[in-house]
Every structure is written in C-alpha cells, then in structure tokens.
Structure 1
Amino acid sequence: MPDREAWITGIGLVSSLGEGLDAHRAALAGGEPKLDTTRFAPYPVHPMAPLDLDKQIPKRGDQRQMEPWQRYGTYAAGLALESAGVKGNGEVLSRTHMIVAAGGGERDNAVDIKILDGLRTADNRGKFLNERLSGDLRPTLFLAQLSNLLAGNISIVHGVVGSSRTFMGEESSGVDAVRIALSRLQGGTGDIFLVGGAFNAEREDMLLLFELGGALLHGGYAPVWARTAQGGGLVLGSLAAFLVIEEKSHAEARGAKPFAKLTSVESGRSRRKPGEVEAAVSAHLDTLGPLDPATSAVISGAVGADSATSEERAALAKRGLAVRATASLLGAGIEAQFPANIALAAMALSNGTLFPPLEPGTVEAPFAGPLKRVAVTSVGHWRGEAAALVEAVG
C-alpha cells in the first residue's frame, strides 16, 4: 500500500542536553557537550540531564522498580505520546503498536565483584559460580535483566496496549524498530506506532563491556570526526528517544499535525572489511533517491569507531551535503541512537532549518536551506549500516 504515508506526529527525547525538543534545539545551536569527566575517569560520559520523573511516571512504586534505562525510556515514551496528543486517550492507545530497542538489564556490581574475587581462589570454579549465582542473586534481579521490561513498563504506565515487540542488537536494534514500524504501517497492519529505545551510559559494567571490546575513546573528549586521529572510540551517552509514527489519514482524522514524514529505511550488515562500510553507506544513500545539497542534509549516526567513522566520512564527503554527527553532543546512545537522530531530523524539518555545524572544518558545512529532506545514517560501532529518509510535509 504505497499510498500510506508515515507521519511523525510525536517526539519524546531526553539526553544530557535536556528534555524535549526546545532544550535540544537550543543545545545543538550552542554546540557545547555536557560531559562528566570525573565519575568514571578516565572515560568521559554524557550523563542524563535531571528529570522530574513524577511528570511522566507518577507512581513512586513504578519508579522504584525500574532501572535507570527503563525510567528514561518510559519517560521519553510519555513525552512522545503527549507530543502526539494521544496520552491518556484509551481508545487510541488500545490500538497503538509498540516497537522497542533495548539492551540487557543492569547488573549488581557488588555481587559481580564478590563472585569475581571468589573465582580467583576457588578450587572448582564451575561449582563455585553456580552456587554463587543461585545464592547471591535476588529473584527480582534476574527479571530486571529482561529487555522487554521497558515495553512492559510503558504499557503499565501509559496504557499502550496494542501489539508489542522488542529488538536487541546495539545500534541495529534501533534501526530495526523504526524499519519494522514503517513497513507495517505502509503494509496496512497498523495505523499508529510508538517506536524508540533507551540507554544508560552511567554504568560501570557497561563501560567495562565496551572497554574490553576496545571500543571506548582514550585520551580525553574529542568530537566525532576528530577521534580517528586518536585511534577512534566511543564516548557513551545516556539517551532515550521515542517517536509516534502514524498513518497520514489516521492523523488527519484526529487533527494531528506532523513534524515530518518518514519515507524509507534501508539497512544491512557488512563484514567490515576495508571499504565495505563506505560502499554500504553509499549504496543506502543511493537507494534513498536524489539528495539536492541546496535542500537536503545528512544527520549522521557516526559514533567515532575508528575505521567505520573514517569510511562513513569518506562516503559522505563525496555527496557535497551538509552533515551533522550528533554523537559529538549526545554521545553514543547505542539502541536509542537511530530513533534519536530520526527525532532530530524531524525537528529540523519542522523548522525548515538545520542546526549549525557541531564540528566546523569537517564535512559539517554550513547550510542555508530551506531544508526539505534529511538522510539519517547509522553505522554501528562494530556492525550494521543503515540510512533513512525523512522529509518535510507539504
């Protein structure tokens, strides 16, 4: 059903830059990152801005049983529903489908440290590990690891009770969440979708995981494109982003106004051999159709991973398009990265203008506008390449 147009009618966004589109618009115009360089030194992180959780999660009991990443996601989902004008509308929410990108739950660091210390002197490490895991972990802690608890909490708090599915798989999970929502809407199997993800960067276990994988930036903060000179690396950022994606006639029937329309999402995965990321990015952009540098721009999901970022930059430089790598200010928000960049593209299109370069002197050229089309790329820190086309309405 190619005539079914996907409108973005609601946006919920929280990050180190603040809450909502106004805060992000102002922060992107200022171009200064919000960093915590001491709490997890030597690794800088972009910490979540203070949130008044009561505004979107009114029951303190609900707040207490969620981990931070679940609170961020549930909060952003509430903002998106509010932005779309459907928050509290039981009739619409009863048929609102939810697609969430999520990672694993947070760990009990004290228990992990105790187990690791014991393993060093245990006579039988397998037996010791089994005994400690069964005896030291609370039953509720295991449940907290379930990725689909974010969707469950959104359903409980906000009453979104249509179908629900959760994707895992780093940046690619955020791509798939948006891609599947668009495919289902265009195919006629749903009229309104709540789509997004959440990530908490302020976790010692998460920093350890990325450091063991050789993914974190060393040597202090640098914006995305400059990191390749330091050997590349991620600066993690706490981030949650949700979108309400709605079929045009459905939105019109209830008087909803769009920020922008989502036209297509292309995704794939290469083996990351030399040259393959550049080829994949170029192929995805070609599939999106003509992009006129006078009216089109790119919001890049590059996060600073060395070879991947270098190759994406090379692919983008050939296009002559103004580019903005938002991870310079947002940080690497992993599962939430792609939905957040779709949100920022829709914000820019609704204004008709692109925010200033975040890293002048690179592929981030000034842009005079008017802005009509935005290509949103996603090159995961170690797998997955994608691009989406977001366009102005009218």
Structure 2
Amino acid sequence: MAETPSSPGGPREAWITGIGLATSLGEGLDAHWDALNAKTVNVDETTFAPYVVHPMTKLVFDAQIPKKGDQRQMEAWQRIGTYAAGLALDSAGIKGNADILSRMDMIVAAGGGERDLAVDSSIINADVQGNAAPGFFNERLMNDLRPTLFLAQLSNLLAGNISIVHGVTGSSRTFMGEEAAGVDAARIALARIASGQSDIALVGAAQNSERKEMLMLYEFGDFNMKNKFKPVWERDNGFALGSGGVFLVIESKEHAQARGAKPYAKLTNVIADRAKRKTAGDVTAILDGLWSRIGTVGQDSAIITGATGASPVTAEERAFLAKHRDTPARATGTAFGHAVEAQFALGIALAALSISRGALFPANDTAGVEIEMTKPPSQIVVIGAGHWRGEGMALVEAV
C-alpha cells in the first residue's frame, strides 16, 4: 500500500498554484466553471456509432504551441497535453520563467501512443490478400511512417514535447498503467515536494478519445458505452471515453511564497492501493481502507470521483459512497467522460478549482447518489477506481 513519505523534519506543505484544463467542456478555468454550473455535457453519439465519446473542444494550438513544425510532429493526444501544460504554466504565472522552468520536475501519466490507421490497414489488407513478401512489414513501416510519427508512438514523447515547447527541463518521469498511472503521478509529485526532493512540479496527462483503435481496444473488454449517453450513476455498464488535457503546477508552500504565488488549494495527501478484485466487495474494502488513511475528513467536505460506469467496479464504489451518503459527491465521468490516465488529475483540478471558488459545482445526477452542497467546501477527497485495476485517493484542502 503506497503512502506519501515525509522528510525527517516533517512534510513540507504542497500548494496547487496552477491548473490547466482543456476538455470537451472548453478551455480554461472560467469556461469549465461556467459549464459545470450549467450542467453542460458535450457528447458525440454519431461519429463513432454505436460508441459514445466526449469530443475535444476546438483549440487554436498556436496559442500554446506556436511553431507549426512542433504541432505537426505530435499526435493529437500530445498536442492536447502540451496545450494543457501551457495553460497550467500560465495559470501559475511561470510561463517563460527560465529559472523556475529549468529546475521544474515533470511527471506525466501516459498511454501507449496513437496508431496510423491508414498504414495499419494497408499492411493488414496486403497480408490478407497474400501480397506480404518476407520483409514486407519492416519495409512498409520504414517507408510509410515518417520518423517523427514513428517516434510519437513512445509514451514519454508527451513529456519531451512539453520540454521542447515550454522549456520545462528539470527531471522527467512518465508513468504508464491507465488510471493508476494518474494516481501515482500525483502521489510521487507530492512525495518529492513533501520530502524536500523537489520544489515545484508539473503533473498531468492527456487523452484523445476520438480514436478508432482505442474504442476497439475497450470494446474487446466490453467497456464502451453504446448508443445513448447516460450519466455515470444510471449506467448498467460502460464508459464514454472523454478527450482532454489536465495539468497541475504543485509546489512547496515556501517556494510559492518566495515568488508571491497564490494557491488554489493545498494537496495534503495522495495514497494508492490495488484490490485483487477476485471476489465481490474487494474494491469497496480497499476504498474503506484508503478513506481511513487519507486524513481527518470534516463536515465541510465533499467527494469528487472518477467513477467510470464500468461494471462491477462502479457498483462497488457506489457501495462505498453509500456509507458516506451525507458527504456530497460528484462523478466527473458524467460531464467529461472517462479520460483514463488524466481522470485522477482532473479530479484534483476540479477539487482545487471548487475550493478556490468557494463552492462545489452542482449535482448532475437523477439517480440520487449526488446531493447538493450549500456551504463552501474546505476539503475534497478525490477518488480514483480504475475500470480494470488500481485505486487511489487524494485529499485537497483549503489553504
């Protein structure tokens, strides 16, 4: 069971000083706050029918990725992530600050990159038609994929592109492992800051869900929502993939104060675990255990969960939430879809945004799971339970 370590003199306080959001609901904090309060949900039920997706809002990439050459050599998920990272740096007031950026750590949660479907299809068709001579496969890969596109399949290229475009050149880590990677990215960033190993970090992930090969992958596991959109708590099984980029600037209180930065909130704790999921109730038990270790949760608290809608894990998470029915909960999957690696960072971002705005955004649920909150939240627990593996929690608090 993974905990956040501390330095011998006690853990340093970690502040969230920058938030970068670009999703199906729009770009930037004001656009997202307005959309959440209007209970906006943007879904596409036709382009990839019968599958439902939350498509990316239209971005003018030049605003954060000024060089067209940089844009061309990135796949869509990298452009989305690099864009969101720029928004986070702007939000924190450190965009272009070479001194800070040169020692800023970066921790990214990433998937396996995107496929060139035209090349894949042509190779498969040639093989089926008997036109694949020895060496055909390697020859086509070398000739049909330009080098930059081939390299773009590497997961750590998102971090590389953020370094190139925004000048973030401290240490760099890329975690893979779907939702659990997002939990660990936040957990390691907090651990490094709390222990004094790092002063400031850029943490986040990106997801392009408008991808046929991604939908095919999840269809093999019967995870895709089909035909008509439903809010998370009204689903029998399945998630609608959601496009988005989410990045956070997390830094020590001392570092933030020294540069005059104001926090949205503080990140007090991040813990992770992994239920065996062999018997019914395993996930509920793990969430119970995480809750007992996350910290003291008071009355002015709320929950933001990345619940996917996938069965049986969401039903088990719902059983956990039933034990805390007086604590207002919100499922990000209803408005944003499931952003996989980015889902946990999204929860932390929305928690910090809600605390900074002095309100929890309204419930968007007719199943009775989510209740309204009339007072400002002083604490928000962020929950992540992966559709297949991995559980985590974060405690976000007012400063």
- Sort the TM-score into its range (normalised by shorter chain): over 0.9
In percent, how many aligned pairs have the same letter? Answer: 58
Instruction: Compute the displacement of 1:360 (Å).
Output: 3.6
Give, as a single letter, the amino acid of the residue that structure 2 aligns with 1:143.
Answer: L
Tell me the distance in 2 between the aligned counterparts of 1:291 and 1:130.
Answer: 56
Tell me the distance in 2 between the aligned counterparts of 1:377 and 1:56.
Answer: 30
Matched, 1:329 2:335: yes
Aligned to 1:301: 306
Which digits, 9 at most, give the CA deviation of each residue in 1:221-267, with x for residues without a partner?
11111112xxx001001011000000001100110000000011111
Aligned to 2:61: 53
Matched, 1:28 2:25: no
SS of corresponding position for 2:53 = coil
Tell me the distance in 1 between the aligned counterparts of 2:138 and 2:32.
Answer: 47
Tell me the distance in 2 between the aligned counterparts of 1:117 and 1:372.
Answer: 58
Instruction: Compute the displacement of 1:53 (Å).
Output: 1.1
Aligned to 1:277: 283
Instruction: Compute the displacement of 1:124 (Å).
Output: 8.1
Is the contact between residue 269 and residue 395 of structure 2 (CA under 8 Å) also seen in structure 1? yes
The partner residue of 2:105 within 97, 110, 116 is 97
Aligned to 2:259: 254
Give, as a single letter, the amino acid of the residue that structure 2 aligns with 1:260.
Answer: A
Paired residues, number: 389
Matched, 1:78 2:86: yes
Which digits, 9 at most, give the CA deviation of each residue in 1:284-342, with x for residues without a partner?
111113323x3001000101111100000110111121110011010010111111110
Aligned to 1:385: 391
Aligned to 1:66: 74
Is the contact between residue 203 and residue 247 of structure 2 (CA under 8 Å) also seen in structure 1? yes
Is the contact between residue 73 and residue 148 of structure 2 (CA under 8 Å) also seen in structure 1? no
Instruction: Compute the displacement of 1:58 (Å).
Output: 1.1
Matched, 1:371 2:368: no
SS of corresponding position for 2:54 = coil
The partner residue of 2:155 within 147, 152, 157 is 147
Tell me the distance in 2 between the aligned counterparts of 1:48 and 1:98.
Answer: 24
Q: CA RMSD in A?
A: 1.6
Give, as a single letter, the amino acid of the residue that structure 2 aligns with 1:96.
Answer: M
Tell me the distance in 2 between the aligned counterparts of 1:136 and 1:191.
Answer: 44
SS of corresponding position for 2:235 = helix
The partner residue of 2:245 within 240, 247, 258 is 240
Which digits, 9 at most, give the CA deviation of each residue in 1:333-358, with x for residues without a partner?
01111111100000001122101101
Tell me the distance in 2 between the aligned counterparts of 1:307 and 1:45.
Answer: 21
Could you tell me which runs of 5 or more consecutive residues in structure 2 were left unpaired when the two chains were aligned: 1-6
Which digits, 9 at most, give the CA deviation of each residue in 1:155-209, with x for residues without a partner?
1111111111111111111111111000111111110000000010011111111
Tell me the distance in 1 between the aligned counterparts of 2:261 and 2:68.
Answer: 32
> Once structures 1 and 2 are overlaid, which stretch shifts more, 193-202 or 57-66?
57-66
Give, as a single letter, the amino acid of the residue that structure 2 aligns with 1:191.
Answer: D
Tell me the distance in 2 between the aligned counterparts of 1:380 and 1:96.
Answer: 29
Instruction: Compute the displacement of 1:370 (Å).
Output: 2.4
Is the contact between residue 119 and residue 128 of structure 1 (CA under 8 Å) also seen in structure 2? no
Instruction: Compute the displacement of 1:140 (Å).
Output: 3.1
Aligned to 1:206: 214
Instruction: Compute the displacement of 1:219 (Å).
Output: 3.7
SS of corresponding position for 1:306 = coil
Tell me the distance in 2 between the aligned counterparts of 1:103 and 1:126.
Answer: 31
Could you tell me which runs of 5 or more consecutive residues in structure 1 were left unpaired when the two chains were aligned: none
Tell me the distance in 2 between the aligned counterparts of 1:128 and 1:392.
Answer: 59
Tell me the distance in 2 between the aligned counterparts of 1:133 and 1:272.
Answer: 39
Is the contact between residue 73 and residue 149 of structure 2 (CA under 8 Å) also seen in structure 1? no
Instruction: Compute the displacement of 1:361 (Å).
Output: 3.8
Is the contact between residue 119 and residue 129 of structure 1 (CA under 8 Å) also seen in structure 2? no
Give, as a single letter, the amino acid of the residue that structure 2 aligns with 1:250.
Answer: H
Instruction: Compute the displacement of 1:392 (Å).
Output: 0.5
Residues 5, 113 of structure 1: alpha-carbon distance in 2 compared, 3 angstrom cutoff = same
Residues 23, 142 of structure 1: alpha-carbon distance in 2 compared, 3 angstrom cutoff = same
Tell me the distance in 1 between the aligned counterparts of 2:20 and 2:223.
Answer: 28
